[in-house]
Amino acid sequence: MNDAIKKVLAPHALEAKNVKHYQLENILQQAKDAPPVATAVVHPVDFNSLEGALEAAEASIITPIFVGPEKKIRAVAAENQLDLKDYQIIDTEHSHQAAEKAVEMARLGQVHALMKGKLGTSELLGAVVSRTGGLRTERRLSHVFIMDVPSYHKTLFITDAAINIAPNLLDKRDILQNAIDCAHALGVDLPKAAILSAVEKVKPHIQSTLDAAALCKMVDRGQITGALVDGPLAFDNAISKEAAEDKGINSPIPGDVDILAAPDLESANMFAKQLQYLANAKAAGIVMGARVPIILTSRAAKPLERLSSCAVAVMVARKMGRLV
């Protein structure tokens, strides 16, 4: 691991409880091969968001530009003995103005990623999706957890656990394509995606199974590209080849899946957090579908997760052509 990253993580080493998270550490190393991303840190007026941005800057992953009330930002830094060095601060009156200003900077190419500080997710994303001056694309926004589960042999991409509450079929198409694009940015050339439901058979009275079947046909028709996709699959059938074989499922996905696409936000959020709290998983988090990646970490995120989220943003921005 890079010495700068080791220095940032060293005070928090006990958090890992001797569990290694090689997948996220590998992402951090990949990010070091790219230049730091100019990142607008939106309304960082609390310790966690300010410290997280400074940690990523010290590790040479991002170059932060702090957007928010300058007096509050400097007060938090002074209170917690955080060194703001000579990083630029763009003064705004409040969080709403900070979000609008950060989005404007991204639209003008002055920053290549956004990082959420102490403001509501809906407030930040509201500025992003604004029809007048936002960062909209033809794709719907969606969230991707990039998860390092010690008991699993590769990185898991779980979506969507944070934005789309009850996505319809076309929403799910965008959610899946966003996750595929994220996997590509991290070097997974042909990710294997499972469209999850409670069962592995198409059932007319279970809408998620119908959506899964339609999504697989959309892959056949080129409406979704860049991945091997199967579904519906129950969670055990996606993760365990043995469980799939017991059900008579013949597919390259089970046991080697990269992307787990949940039927709705509630199920995705619950099983992602179960992996974190019961299986010692660590997770980076990012929002895809806008003109720049958006770093969206929980207030409870640990240093490795915050750094990894920034690293994912570097890789995604580079893949999008935001960096050379």
CB atoms under 10 Å from CB of 39, counted, come to: 30
CB atoms under 10 Å from CB of 188, counted, come to: 18
Question: Which pLDDT score is estimated for 305?
Answer: 83
**Nearest CA to 198 among 189, 186, 210?**
210
**Nearest CA to 262 among 252, 274, 245, 249?**
274
For residues 261 and 195, the answer to whether their CB atoms sit within 8 Å is yes
Cα–Cα dist 49/56, whole Å: 11
Higher-scoring residue by pLDDT: 195, 303: 195
Question: Which pLDDT score is estimated for 81?
Answer: 95
Question: Which pLDDT score is estimated for 14?
Answer: 46
Mean pLDDT of the chain: 91
For residues 240 and 255, the answer to whether their CB atoms sit within 8 Å is yes
Residue position matching structure tokens 């997280």: 52
For residues 51 and 301, the answer to whether their CB atoms sit within 8 Å is no
The pLDDT of residue 13 is above 60: no
Full-model pTM: 0.91
Question: Which pLDDT score is estimated for 297?
Answer: 77
Residue 299: pLDDT band with limits 50, 70, 90: low
Sign, CA dihedral 188-190-192-195, equals positive
How confident is the model over 127-177, as pLDDT tens digits? 999 988 899 999 999 999 999 999 999 999 999 999 999 999 999 999 999
**Residue 272 is encoded by which pair of tokens?**
């992602």
For residues 127 and 256, the answer to whether their CB atoms sit within 8 Å is no
Sign, CA dihedral 161-164-167-172, equals negative
How confident is the model over 217-264, as pLDDT tens digits? 999 999 999 999 999 999 999 999 999 999 999 999 999 999 999 999
Mean pLDDT of 30-56: 91
Strands 259-261 and 228-233: unpaired
**Residue 80 is encoded by which pair of tokens?**
């917690």
Cα–Cα dist 14/23, whole Å: 19
